[in-house]
Structure 1
Amino acid sequence: MTDYPTLTLNDNRALPQLGFGTWQIDDDKAADAVRTALDVGYQMVDTAAIYQNERGVGDGLKDASVFLQTKIWNESQGYDRTLKAADKCLDRLGRDHVDMLLIHWPCPGKDLYVETWKALIELRDLGKAKSIGVSNFRAEDLRRIIDETGVTPALNQIELHPSFQQRELRKLHEELGIITQSWSPLGQGGGMDNPAIKQIAEETGRPASAVILRWHLQHGLSTIPKASSRAHIEANFEALAFSLTDEQMGKIDDLDDKGGRMGPDPSDMD
């Protein structure tokens, strides 16, 4: 698709706005899932060391020219360990570089994320990661790595869905020039059962999942929905085929809930 939506990262590289997430897809099924996503038209794929499916993802991609990102897991934090872990990620993926490398969690109790970030800067300078970013970083974590290294992450991948919209953190991202990327963008599927979402799905004639993903896209967010079946992969991809009205966007905005977090709190992850 020549009109595939992209966001411009702070290093001037283009990030495909809608990606294919692979969390909870087994390694032996990842290749087929990725091939299906590519066939449907996705131009970005997200994985992570902890998903234990990088080999399958890499096999599914082969020589495909799509945006690929992976993440350094918590136990690999620290300068030297991160450098070694990144090489292992690349080996499993069958690549000499990834488009985006992220720190998966800040793990504040370990107090190693600054050293880990310095390693990512080195990996970027070596060409092993074209762009570098973080995941699940809080405001204080972002400010610290920027203050101590002078390098701002290209993106922060965070839990974000209609019932947990992270508006304050998104505002900070905008101020700092960081792209917000949403994980669990569908609220682990629960968002699709919301009456407001169902109504908008009826109004637009689109799947509920596509309605939610369209909301992410129109807010300027990058998003990485996971799906295993071709039907769900295609349904999610319909987010690129229509637009929501301001009224429909507002109805979804109204679903925000300060207690809506579904995944771990980054403050508690070590």
Structure 2
Amino acid sequence: MLRLAGARLLDDRDYPAVRAVLAADPVGSCMVSARVESAGLDPWRLGGELWGTDGRYVRAGALQGLCFAGPNLVPLTGGAGALRSFADRALRRPRTCSSLVGPAEQVLGLWEQLAGDWGPAREERPDQPLMALDGEPRVAADRAVRPVLPHELGTYFPAAVAMFHEEVGVDPTAGDGGAGYRARVSELIAGGRAFARFEGGEVVFKAEIGALSDRVGQIQGVWVHPRHRGRGLGAAGTAAVARHLVHGLGRVASLYVNSYNTPALAAYHRIGFRQVGRYATVLF
């Protein structure tokens, strides 16, 4: 019977095995793939650690489980034994991640192992359809949606804060006055990955490409100003960002959404997104 060793810190010698795991599910692994492709496996450059589990007696270079430990804890693959190993490693030090996020089976299985020490969570979102689009959107793209320019950060940032507060339930400007979050938003703008529709000097629609691997772009932060909801701006704006990913960047467009957000789910289905998996998130 195959026995799993404890989770170990992966390094550049494991790069081929890591890439094989990521390539098996390019949509589900986009958040981690984007980091690995740009930074390799060195923790300092990666902004976190990659943990893996191997077969104790089968050293053929294949990983039985893979988990990223950084600002978020992202268990991508692994059965019960691998998840137990990831939990053991995570519990050796104080929790620093703000969430567990990733494929639902792995996230919920890992949380079952961690909840006794890390719980209670601020919120659990166990059912988040993971969706993808690789062709022309079925909803006409909003031509007024465009990349945000660096000098527009001051106008865009309040909308980003409002979205974060509404979606995550916390104020991203708390603690450091918003310096960290502002830097992240500025980075997305500088990379051409923040999009908005402006009307009357304010943002009425926004969205971002949060993670961009060589095959997939993950759309995040979709938001419509409360005064402008009901006009179809969310669907048309998301279609514009998805079209940019598919036709402009040659990527599959992806996103995930809470299952209880029926208006958003309906809009994404109208655009042409199809469900390809299920995510879960545990927020602290």
TM-score, normalised to structure 1's length? 0.36
Structure richer in helix, relative to its length: 1
Structure richer in strand, relative to its length: 2
Q: Which has the higher contact order (CA 8 A, sep 6+)?
A: 2
TM-score, normalised to structure 2's length? 0.34
